A and B are shown apart, each in its own frame.
Chain A
Amino acid sequence: MQRYSAFSLLREGLSGHRGWRPAWTKAKPKSAYDAVIVGGGGHGLATAYYLAENHGLTRVAVLERGWIGGGNTGRNTTAVRSNYFYPESVALYDLSLRLYEGLSKELNYNVMLSQRGMLIAAHTPAQMEICARIANAMQINGVDGRLMSADEAQRRIPLLNQTEGARFKCLGGVWQGRAGVARHDAVAWGYARAASALGVDIIENCTVKDLTIEAGQITGVETNLGPIRTNRVGLAAAGATPGLAAMAGVRLPIHTYALQAFVSEPVKPILDTVLLYLGTGTYVSQSDKGELVFGGGLDRVPTHGQKGNLPAQETVISGLLEMFPAFAQLKLLRQWAGVVDVVPDSSPVIGPVGPAGLFVNCGWGTGGFKAIPAGGWLLSHLMATGEHHEISRPFDLDRFEHGRLIDEAAGSGIAH
């Protein structure tokens, strides 16, 4: 892999940047692989990388129907965090956060991880009690969470509406210092480059049309570029996963909705942390370019259209302006939507399903970006060994049979 560094940038700068090689090889599909991953977003690419890096499996293909990172990985609001309630969730998301912490160096690609902290802010005593419950859960699970006072919140977020007329006065909340944001596209490209360098084939514009199964075992996939043989298939295609699983007769308890996100015109720095405000349901951070990146609740109509409609926009934006009245000076620059695959308990589904050799990593709903490294790590473990890693076991599909749901939204009192 051609190394990136300040030195290489300097060297290339002097020679017109003609020495940079393609970040990943645009491979043509081979007729067979040891493992095939469907879905070239962050999770799928991370899985491919870890299959090669952790498990030495390099005859691997990632099949992406469009351009890599073009799904939810390219459409989220870039927050990374592990401020969760259940120990199973904390283990999962903190594995991911720890991997994020070393990711730029490991992939030799700057994913621009900015651990600027995240505050889940409360405005009623009841919400502060919930925040205490979460902060304690985090501490017991060995993760950096603490309760933050109203004063400190005001100091860190000076523009937060604390005027007399404010609808919701911030009472403080639960703070995770290691939380923050990362550059979403860079995560996809970084994993793609590292995986490709290890020999993984990344195949874009390749749509899976069917799964071939013989005697209860996956034997390959049918694609628009022809058939590919394999006895291990991992589905990491977010909203498209249920449709793919259905090809193997597997029904997943997933509904898809549009989740909108918004970006304002860029201004000089005005917000230094990530904020989720329970009162309004709106979350916001400021990108390194100076744009405010924000979002809120789902468009509550099941869809695969990556669009969204006005009512949700009006709600999210009014929530943002209620929190930050000065932001009313800004203009909306871009709006988009991803298709979030929502599971009844708002926790992902990771594990084997249906025929032997078929695995899913999906159901991340609105929270998949922060989990990319962990999703890849855990799916690769499953595909390579056939067994769950201890961190992914609780998220197996069988939890619905056993009743062992991991309902973060209900457990923590916050919409996921």
Chain B
Amino acid sequence: MSGWRHPELGDVDRRKPVWFTFDGQPLSGFAGDTLASALLAGGPRILGRSFKYHRPRGLWGLGGEEPNAILDVTFDGKTTPNVRATTEKLRNGMVLQSVNAAPDAARDRFGLLDLAHRFLPAGFYYKTFMALGWMRWEPLIREMAGLGKLDATHHPPADTPVMNAACDLLVIGAGPAGLAAAAAAARNGRQVWLVDEARAVGGSLRWRGGEIDGAPWTDFAATTCNAVKAAGGRILTDTVLWGAFDHGSYAAWQRREDQTNVHWRIRAQNVVLAAGAIERPLWFANNDLPGIMSCEAALHHLVLYGAVAGRRIVIGCAGDAPYAVAAALAKAGCQVTLVDARKDTPPAPDGMRIIRGAKITRAHGHREVGAVTVDGTHLDCDTVLVSGGFTPSVHLHCQAGGKLDLDKASDSLIPRAGTSPIRTVGAANGAFGLAAALEQGHAAGSGAAPAPRAVDRGWALDPIRPDPGIKGRVWIDPQNDVTLKDVRIAAQEGYQSVEHLKRYTTLGMATDQGRNANFAGLAAMAVLTDRTIAETGTTTYRPPFTPVPLSVIGGMRRGEAFSPPKRLALEPQHRTCGAKFREYGGWLRPAYYGEDEATAQQDEARTARQAAGLYDASPLGKIEVIGPGAAELLDFCGYVRMSTLKPGRARYGFMLSEAGIVHDDGVVLRLAEDRFIVSASSSHVGSVRLILEEARQDRFDPSRVFLHDVTAHWATLTVSGPLARAILADAGFSVPDIPHMSVAETRWKDIPFRIARVSFTGDASWELSVPARYGGELHAVLDAAGTAHGARWIGLEALMLLRAEKGYVLIGKDTDGVTMPHDLGWGGPRASRQDEYFGRRSLFTPEANRNDRRQLVGLQSTNVPLPTGAHILAPGDTRRSLGFVTSSYYSPTLDRAIALAMINGGRSLVGQDVTVFNLGETYLARVTDACAYDPKGERLHG
């Protein structure tokens, strides 16, 4: 531990100590600390281990770019892995654990791996592990890979709300450039949203300080915020704008004190990116040792938290920026030596030594830095602060499709103007000085009056590049352990495009998403392959800008809120009757009534045939097709013509896809010349309506026919069975005496009342529909009358059994993506219709004409029902399937097992025995007609 707490500096509250542990060691900090600042000020240096070589790692940076200080944090009994110490607030009682180290960071066993580093360069795993197979080694590799540990018992709640917003101007970053843009725009009356990931506005001003318009920067920040609010805008701090998407849509993750996160979806007309820049490391031997930190980060921690990085500090740089850092550290009581690669430098601040025209070539230390070599001279130190220049945070510009160019003055890749809808200003645009940042921001906010003024301290810098010729191990990516040598090997082996470099070496693929490594890797590859940076290219930037908790994006769609089924209006009534519910076709419907499913299914089916069954048919679609063009539309969209249907009658038909495949089946009711109701299976209502709608709009005159999906307006209860008629009479309905397959509109107690004689069970059935608010009354009346006649409420399980006895298909269960209507025995329209209808052409392809197509048949076997999904084998060829069992039940009415199957050439096999295969076992079964019960349909007429 070489860091220490300054007695006065920093915004922490020294009256409120906060207690925590790190790898079992008790430590303390203050209210206001982050994990990083508390550890820097009073904890051990070694906070973790690198991914591959398990080398010790210490704090590097100040924000989301931190690659090393990644910890598992337990708080309030719950553990969260991979927490970034620099962005996490310290709380009392936190237990911090280093990651990827056993038993802990200080004593990691796998540190021995580093001794073998020569044999473990980038991509070594592609060159070996082949003889015994990868799987032999994989478990060990997986154990050693990964960072933190997931806590299997910790299920974070799904409590992140979405907030949608729209704004005129979105300003990303509330540093000087962002504040200036927001101020200018707000003064022009524009509605500005100002977003910053830190907990307060100001950006780097918060630790660099500075005067704006002759007053402390905090004044400017305060007036800007007031102006923004006064113009109807909003300021969000602790909020990361992480994604730029199509059509001006952006995503942000907001953290709130003592409240949940918020997932923001912001639609912005205009966007200004003022996200600042990140300091680059220096590239010398052993530049990965704990104790080597970013210069800017050291200043950040000193000023904001009073956490001082060390006492005997060497600063390496080739630019002006670290001079202020040096001065502050010296003033705080550190011994500082500045090593500037330039011969021509600003004057050295008071109280420190400066070595000009020199570079750090090597850091020394076993597990922490203890000395450096500066061009041959040995310097003892306990801390090394480095500044290799700055990399603008241009990610969002690139996410939005923008291109980059190398700017010589700032030695950085900055946005090419006009290549994205985002305007980039300030340090993010390579303008590192305060005055320039204010000017650019002001201009972007369309400021009319002069820009806010500031005195710029120098920001000049000489470009620094990793030198592939340097001796020793030089780190490019500290988390993934990618060194300069790895880049050389990649170049040598031809992985020279920047994407190949990244994927081959894993450079830039760590949790810092390449913010510390990408520029260096790119620059090194350029040197090694004798190309310019522009020629070498940059990697693609994609969301998220910084890692975002999955829980934020996943939102509140969990448990019952995840893809919820639709609910019946009569659900309370069914529950009262003892229904057990299950999802069918996107609806929650009664599966059976009672305690035991198997028993209930049998009893309900039996009762339905012997007395009557009552069930809720509400979810079956009711699409009204209205207008003089209705019949014509239905004739085109349906396989069975409906124009010949008389008003008051009903007809069963199919809807095909363009490929001639059966998409849905259902009954069409004709209420009048110009009014039909198309029923669709409950899961297909939407798609059926779309097929009708598409034809309506594209093929026909849309002003002559309209489609209304009024499924939910009606509650429909069906009475089916030999006693159905008697039940209806006792219930007090005056039911017109209409035949099977007809419909009548009438009234019941002055309520609209529709009766359709349509049967799903094969018994005489009456479907009764009333507006849903009267459904309860209808239910009560039927319940009383039905019970009196020994009828039962039946669920879907019984219903599916009953229809199977009749060979009625269920779309998607008995049919699949290749089933055509003639496969189901419905070849009539195909043979006779001369007019054009949807899917017609596909019904006559060579494939459609084959006579060995899979056809619907029944199967009779021993009394144990055949397993659904079992296949029928070709005789004498166990490697060929002829089809499969699609529905299978024990029929209480027939007192035997029944099944439906789709079998190649099935209809010609009726009467023959076939072998049925299921998961290694075989059965014998006889092919029969699909209809097993009342083949003449006599019971339909009741």
Binding site for B on A (CB under 8 A): 4-6, 8-10, 13-14, 16-18, 20-26, 66-68, 70, 74, 87, 104-105, 108-116, 124, 126, 129-137, 139-142, 146-147, 158-159, 163, 165-167, 185-186, 189-190, 204, 264-270, 279-280, 286, 288-290, 305, 307, 309-310, 313-314, 317-322, 325-336, 344-345, 401-405, 407, 409-411, 413
Q: Decide if A20 touches B493 in the complex (CB within 8 Å).
A: yes
Q: Select A20's contact among B246, B492, B867, B873, beta carbons within 8 Å.
A: B492
- Alpha-carbon distance between A74 and B156 when the two chains are bound, in angstroms: 32
| B548 on interface, CB distance cutoff 8 Å | yes
Q: How far is the CB of B712 from chain A (nearest CB, A)?
A: 23
Q: Decide if B870 touches A334 in the complex (CB within 8 Å).
A: no
Contacts of B919-933 to chain A: CB distance below 8 A:
919-920
In the assembled complex, 11 residue pairs joining A and B whose CB atoms fall closer than 8 Å, in A order, are: A67-B499, A136-B919, A139-B919, A139-B920, A159-B150, A189-B504, A266-B145, A270-B152, A307-B245, A310-B243, A410-B818
Report chain B residues within 8 Å CB of A6.
128, 131
Q: Select A327's contact among B148, B150, B583, beta carbons within 8 Å.
A: B150
Q: Decide if B495 touches A23 in the complex (CB within 8 Å).
A: yes
**Considering the complex of A and B, which 3 residue pairs feature the smallest CB-CB distances, nearest first?**
A410-B817, A290-B146, A132-B869
- Alpha-carbon distance between A267 and B133 when the two chains are bound, in angstroms: 24
Report chain A residues within 8 Å CB of B124.
9
- Alpha-carbon distance between A67 and B493 when the two chains are bound, in angstroms: 14
Known: A309-B249, A328-B554. A70 touches B499 (CB 8 A): yes
Q: Decide if B126 touches A109 in the complex (CB within 8 Å).
A: yes
Q: Select A110's contact among B126, B509, B550, beta carbons within 8 Å.
A: B126
Q: B541-572, CB under 8 A of A: which get 1 and which 0? A: 01110011111011101111011000000000
Q: How far is the CB of A371 from chain B (nearest CB, A)?
A: 20
Report chain A residues within 8 Å CB of B870.
132, 136
Q: B114-143, CB under 8 A of A: which get 1 and which 0? A: 000011010011111111011100100111
Report chain B residues within 8 Å CB of A322.
557-559, 562
Q: Decide if A318 touches B562 in the complex (CB within 8 Å).
A: yes
Nearest residue in A to B847 (C-beta to C-beta)? A403
Q: How large is the interface on B (under 10, 10 to 19, 20 to 34, 35 or more residues)?
A: 35 or more
Q: Decide if B251 touches A310 in the complex (CB within 8 Å).
A: yes
The stretch that binds A, out of B222-230, B298-306, B879-887, is B879-887
Q: Decide if A268 touches B871 in the complex (CB within 8 Å).
A: no
Q: Select B919's contact among A115, A126, A135, beta carbons within 8 Å.
A: A135
Known: A22-B492, A132-B869, A267-B149. A105 touches B130 (CB 8 A): yes
| B713 on interface, CB distance cutoff 8 Å | no
Q: How far is the CB of B492 from chain A (nearest CB, A)?
A: 6
Report chain A residues within 8 Å CB of B334.
none
Report chain A residues within 8 Å CB of B583.
124
Known: A131-B869, A402-B847. A22 touches B493 (CB 8 A): yes
- Alpha-carbon distance between A401 and B841 when the two chains are bound, in angstroms: 10
Contacts of B427-462 to chain A: CB distance below 8 A:
none
Nearest residue in B to A106 (C-beta to C-beta)? B130
| B736 on interface, CB distance cutoff 8 Å | no
Which of B869, B871, B918, B919 has its CB near the most chain A CB atoms (within 10 A)? Answer: B869
Nearest residue in A to B661 (C-beta to C-beta)? A410
**Given A23-B493, A136-B918, A330-B82, 15 new contacts (CB under 8 A):** A22-B492, A67-B500, A104-B129, A112-B129, A132-B919, A136-B881, A204-B497, A269-B142, A288-B145, A310-B245, A329-B150, A402-B845, A405-B817, A405-B818, A410-B818
- Alpha-carbon distance between A205 and B251 when the two chains are bound, in angstroms: 34
Nearest residue in B to A332 (C-beta to C-beta)? B548
Q: How far is the CB of B457 from chain A (nearest CB, A)?
A: 37
| B878 on interface, CB distance cutoff 8 Å | yes
- Alpha-carbon distance between A2 and B554 when the two chains are bound, in angstroms: 48
Q: Select B81's contact among A66, A137, A267, A320, beta carbons within 8 Å.
A: A267
Nearest residue in A to B870 (C-beta to C-beta)? A136
| B494 on interface, CB distance cutoff 8 Å | yes
- Alpha-carbon distance between A26 and B531 when the two chains are bound, in angstroms: 16
| B158 on interface, CB distance cutoff 8 Å | yes
Report chain B residues within 8 Å CB of A314.
553-555, 557
Known: A329-B81, A330-B550. A141 touches B151 (CB 8 A): no
Q: Decide if B555 touches A140 in the complex (CB within 8 Å).
A: no
| B813 on interface, CB distance cutoff 8 Å | yes
Q: How many A-B residue pairs have CB under 8 A?
A: 319
Q: How far is the CB of B49 from chain A (nearest CB, A)?
A: 13
Nearest residue in A to B848 (C-beta to C-beta)? A403
Q: Decide if A159 touches B152 in the complex (CB within 8 Å).
A: yes
| B2 on interface, CB distance cutoff 8 Å | no
- Alpha-carbon distance between A151 and B917 when the two chains are bound, in angstroms: 24
- Alpha-carbon distance between A318 and B511 when the two chains are bound, in angstroms: 22
Q: Decide if B871 touches A326 in the complex (CB within 8 Å).
A: no
- Alpha-carbon distance between A166 and B559 when the two chains are bound, in angstroms: 5
Nearest residue in A to B243 (C-beta to C-beta)? A310
Q: Select A147's contact among B485, B506, B919, beta carbons within 8 Å.
A: B919
| B842 on interface, CB distance cutoff 8 Å | yes
Nearest residue in A to B585 (C-beta to C-beta)? A126
Report chain B residues within 8 Å CB of A401.
845
Report chain B residues within 8 Å CB of A112.
125, 129, 134, 138
Q: B70-95, CB under 8 A of A: which get 1 and which 0? A: 00000000011110000000000000
Q: Decide if B149 touches A317 in the complex (CB within 8 Å).
A: no
Q: How far is the CB of B921 from chain A (nearest CB, A)?
A: 10
Known: A265-B82, A403-B846. A114 touches B119 (CB 8 A): no
| B503 on interface, CB distance cutoff 8 Å | yes
Q: Decide if A140 touches B917 in the complex (CB within 8 Å).
A: yes
Report chain A residues within 8 Å CB of B245.
307, 309-310
Known: A109-B126, A165-B559, A317-B553. A326 touches B150 (CB 8 A): yes
Known: A147-B919, A290-B145, A402-B847. A114 touches B138 (CB 8 A): yes
Q: Decide if A331 touches B549 in the complex (CB within 8 Å).
A: yes
- Alpha-carbon distance between A132 and B918 when the two chains are bound, in angstroms: 8
- Alpha-carbon distance between A331 and B549 when the two chains are bound, in angstroms: 4
Nearest residue in A to B874 (C-beta to C-beta)? A140
- Alpha-carbon distance between A21 and B493 when the two chains are bound, in angstroms: 5
- Alpha-carbon distance between A67 and B128 when the two chains are bound, in angstroms: 24
Q: Select A17's contact among B147, B489, B560, beta carbons within 8 Å.
A: B489
Q: Decide if A136 touches B884 in the complex (CB within 8 Å).
A: yes
Nearest residue in A to B844 (C-beta to C-beta)? A403
Report chain A residues within 8 Å CB of B80.
329
Q: Decide if A288 touches B560 in the complex (CB within 8 Å).
A: no
Q: How far is the CB of B205 from chain A (nearest CB, A)?
A: 28
Nearest residue in A to B117 (C-beta to C-beta)? A13
| B812 on interface, CB distance cutoff 8 Å | yes
Report chain B residues within 8 Å CB of A319.
562
Q: Decide if B158 touches A411 in the complex (CB within 8 Å).
A: no
| B265 on interface, CB distance cutoff 8 Å | yes
Nearest residue in A to B549 (C-beta to C-beta)? A331
- Alpha-carbon distance between A146 and B549 when the two chains are bound, in angstroms: 36
Q: Decide if A289 touches B127 in the complex (CB within 8 Å).
A: no
| B276 on interface, CB distance cutoff 8 Å | no
Report chain B residues within 8 Å CB of A325.
155-156, 558
- Alpha-carbon distance between A110 and B134 when the two chains are bound, in angstroms: 8
Q: Decide if B492 touches A18 in the complex (CB within 8 Å).
A: yes
| B720 on interface, CB distance cutoff 8 Å | no
Q: Decide if A136 touches B557 in the complex (CB within 8 Å).
A: no
| B513 on interface, CB distance cutoff 8 Å | yes
- Alpha-carbon distance between A105 and B133 when the two chains are bound, in angstroms: 9
Q: Decide if A327 touches B816 in the complex (CB within 8 Å).
A: no
